[in-house]
Amino acid sequence: MTALLIQIAATLITLPVIVIVLSYLLQMIWSGRKRGMVKRSLDVSVPFFAAAIYFGVLEFLGLDILFWMIAVFLTSLGLLLFIHWRLFDEVDVKKSLLMAWRLHFLLYFGVYLGLLISEVIYTVMQ
């Protein structure tokens, strides 16, 4: 039972990279438009990065960070909405949500790499 859970956790942790590649390849095959394929592939991978970080931190540190992940996303969305309102005197929720989504891709990708490297170092040191 423990081995099965470890295999599932390992799959979820490595899944975001696979999702990016598969999404890009599927878009290349089915879509004639090459413009924006990378952005769409990265947009699709954000929930997978979030899940990998959640389960990685849960497994590695034993912390449940779901509340903090949601709180940071909503706070950054609110901040981007405020900035958009101050700059353009109107609120474009769709554009701000997309900006927050892509900002969180960068954040999650950095945390994902840091978590992956720290787990590898911890495993090698033991």
Tell me what the pLDDT averaged over the chain comes to.
87
Which is nearest to 46 in space by CA: 106, 119, 117?
106
DSSP state of 109: H
What pLDDT is stored for residue 123 in this prediction? 84
Pick the residue with more confidence: 13 or 91?
91
DSSP state of 36: T
* Residue showing tokens 């927050």: 100
pLDDT in tens, 56-105: 888 888 899 999 999 999 999 999 999 999 998 888 889 889 999 999 99
Model-wide pTM > 0.85: no
Instruction: Check whether 9 has a pLDDT greater than 70.
Output: no
